[in-house]
Structure 1
Amino acid sequence: MAKVFFITGIDTDIGKTIATGWYAKKLMQQGASVITQKMIQTGCRGIAEDLLIHRKNTRY
């Protein structure tokens, strides 16, 4: 069974996006298959900006 990690916080600009990208990169470096998702984002047109940051942070 796949493991699921859910990173959450109660405010904006507290590091959820950076933490998600960092954690995803570490898991990928260990050989894990990783998908990041942004379940809810307001004011977004098109792809969520945070997903672009996740993608940038997980390149190694």
Structure 2
Amino acid sequence: MKRIFMNFMDDESGAVSVDWVVLAASMVAFGLAITAIIQTGAINGVINMFASVDAAL
């Protein structure tokens, strides 16, 4: 039993998978954050544009 446990502890084949999962999750989170920032700015720009058009009419 001790030998099986030591083999398990020395095996690093799953560690790379965990690294990729963490990297992918952080990229998705970063993308969502950037999208939220851009969306807020775009909505404010459209609101300002409509206000300018209404003022011109």
TM-score by length of 1: 0.32
Determine which structure has greater relative contact order: mean sequence separation of CA pairs < 8 Å that are 6+ residues apart, divided by chain length: 1
More helix by share: 2
Larger radius of gyration: 2
TM-score by length of 2: 0.33
